[in-house]
């Protein structure tokens, strides 16, 4: 009995010890400890060298083509300084924005990360949501969601890092949030906005969108301050605020905006220098290309570990650069209504030649041919109209390419030949001579009336083609593209060994 009483006295301590052991075992699972790992000493040393602290505000810049994930920290004067780059283990899809659920595209644009988007219990070690879709994506109807930066080196539309990398990145963001930063800006780019990259991708279908991102990049790289981001008229606007009584609506036209003249002057100056560099590269023979991946890419640092990533088969071959042929702009062809099958066939042939040589923005207009007595005329007219329809569709689909970032080649426009000019130059049709009513025809003369039929004036009316003159797009429609490498424009007091 005494022994039982002694054991009973220690029973509560045993239960408490067992509970503590169970709790310790739960913690050992790593679900709660992963998100609490400290920033490595090496990174803290870089912060000290850069004149920032671990609590300083953070900014992220990522580049898909280069597979780089950069961390920037804010100095006491409000300017950001580059800290370090994490090589990206895996990203999926192609260069270009994400537009729908399941397209395996890593998004491009300006996004905001808040404390509520941090996930310490991720199935991919640790993760945080980048904030896709933003106001710009929603205005364009782009769908999908749950785009993460996470570990496990596996991507289906996300930015994938190694577990060790995401642990450090997570710790940097967590520390900034704990010190009061409400949102961390993530600037996601297809590639570094250099003159070399933009010259090569100048005819890519996404170049109009990338020019918007370039403008945001210029705002950051001229002042080294986080740019304010707005959306109106289905476009990004940076460091701009609406005038009194107005607001920004992503789907509505932009109202009058207030901008800092000093910042805008610096951005314009940088854009002019970058435009000149792009023109120089094009003149030197840099060809326009489109880069096609099997399914995204990864940083060269991970080449030896290809078996550890998602879809390793998609990484066995490098991306393919497809040359895009760039041809000079020519004036549109204008052809009068055809009087004969020969003219109709010539019109169709000229249209095909023009289609092969015209730029994407050139529209070929062809007037329909009049019906001719010969049986081949309707086929020729149909062929001409079909070619015109195809060419109009081709021009409409590719017209968004425009000029070369503000550079425009003037077309050598010969005087257009109008319908009336061609009509004047052709001889008047022969009028049938007046004849007496013929006597009843004999059997041998039955075929003679066909000769008179051939001399009759065709009854088909010739309608003048009113084709508007195609003009080159004004330069202001496609704003000038500016490019600059972070290596060429380093932030104030950059780290000599850690430039992006």
Q: Which residues are identified as catalytic?
A: 150, 158
The CA-based angle 471-474-477, given to 5 degrees, is: 125
Whether omega before 133 lies within 30 degrees of 0, making that bond cis, reads yes
Looking from the CA of 260 toward its CB, the CA atoms found within 13 Å total 12
Render 133-194 in DSSP notation, one character per residue: S-HHHHHTT------EEESTT--SSSEE--HHHHHHHHHHHHHHHHTT---EEEEEESS---
CB 237 within 8 A of CB 230: yes
Cα torsion angle, 197, 202, 204, 210, sign: positive
- From 337, 382, 387, select the one nearest 358 (Cα to Cα): 387
Let me know if 91 is exposed, middle or buried by CB neighbors in 10 A (0-12, 13-18, 19+).
buried
Q: Is 97 helix (H, G, I), strand (E, B) or coil?
A: coil
- In angstroms, what CA-CA distances link 189 with 212, 331, 395? 11, 37, 29
Q: Residue 294 CB: number of other CB atoms within 10 A?
A: 15
The Cα 335–Cα 347 span in angstroms is 7
Match 């780019």 to its residue by tokens: 189
Element (H, E) at 184: strand 184-189
């Amino acid at each position: 009995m005494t022994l039982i009483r002694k054991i009973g006295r220690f029973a509560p301590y045993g239960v408490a010890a067992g509970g503590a052991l169970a709790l310790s075992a739960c913690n050992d699972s790593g679900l709660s400890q992963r998100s609490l790992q400290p920033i490595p000493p090496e990174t803290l040393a870089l912060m000290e060298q850069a004149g920032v602290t671990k609590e300083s505000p953070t900014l992220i810049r990522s580049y898909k083509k280069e597979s780089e994930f950069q961390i920037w920290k804010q100095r006491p004067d409000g300017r950001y300084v580059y800290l370090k780059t994490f090589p990206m283990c895996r990203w999926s899809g192609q260069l270009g924005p994400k537009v729908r659920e399941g397209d395996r595209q890593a998004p491009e644009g300006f996004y905001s990360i808040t404390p509520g988007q941090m996930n310490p219990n991720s199935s991919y070690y640790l993760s945080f949501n980048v904030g896709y879709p933003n106001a710009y994506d929603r205005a364009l109807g782009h769908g999908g969601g749950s785009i993460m930066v996470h570990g496990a080196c596996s991507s289906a539309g996300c930015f994938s890092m190694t577990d060790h990398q995401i642990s450090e990145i997570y710790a940097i963001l967590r520390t900034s949030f704990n010190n009061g930063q409400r949102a961390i800006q993530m600037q996601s780019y297809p590639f570094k906005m250099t003159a070399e990259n933009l010259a090569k991708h100048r005819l890519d279908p996404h170049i109009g969108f990338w020019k918007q991102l370039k403008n945001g990049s210029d705002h950051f790289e001229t002042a080294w301050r986080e740019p304010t981001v707005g959306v109106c008229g289905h476009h990004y606007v940076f460091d701009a605020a609406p005038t009194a009584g107005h607001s920004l609506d992503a789907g509505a036209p932009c109202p009058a905006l207030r901008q800092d003249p000093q910042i805008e002057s610096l951005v314009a100056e940088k854009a002019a220098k970058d435009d000149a560099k792009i023109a120089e590269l094009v003149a030197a023979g840099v060809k326009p290309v489109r880069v096609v991946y099997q399914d995204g890419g990864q940083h060269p640092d991970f080449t030896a570990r290809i078996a550890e990533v998602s879809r390793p088969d998609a990484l066995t071959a490098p991306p393919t650069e497809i040359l895009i042929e760039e041809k000079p702009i020519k004036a549109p062809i204008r052809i009068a209504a055809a009087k004969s099958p020969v003219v109709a066939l010539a019109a169709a042939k000229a249209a095909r030649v023009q289609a092969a040589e015209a730029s994407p923005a050139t529209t070929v207009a062809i007037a329909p041919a009049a019906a001719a007595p010969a049986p081949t005329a309707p086929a020729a007219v149909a062929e001409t109209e079909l070619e015109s329809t195809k060419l109009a569709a081709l021009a409409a689909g590719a017209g968004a390419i425009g000029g070369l970032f503000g550079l425009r080649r003037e077309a050598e426009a010969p005087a257009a030949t109008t319908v009336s000019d061609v009509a004047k130059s052709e001889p008047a049709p022969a009028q049938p001579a007046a004849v007496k009513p013929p006597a009843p025809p004999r059997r041998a003369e039955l075929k003679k009336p066909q000769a008179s039929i051939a001399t009759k004036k065709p009854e088909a009316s010739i309608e003048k083609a009113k084709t508007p003159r195609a003009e080159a797009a004004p330069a202001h429609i496609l704003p000038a593209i500016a490019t600059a490498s972070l290596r060429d424009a380093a932030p104030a007091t950059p780290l000599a060994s850690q430039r992006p």
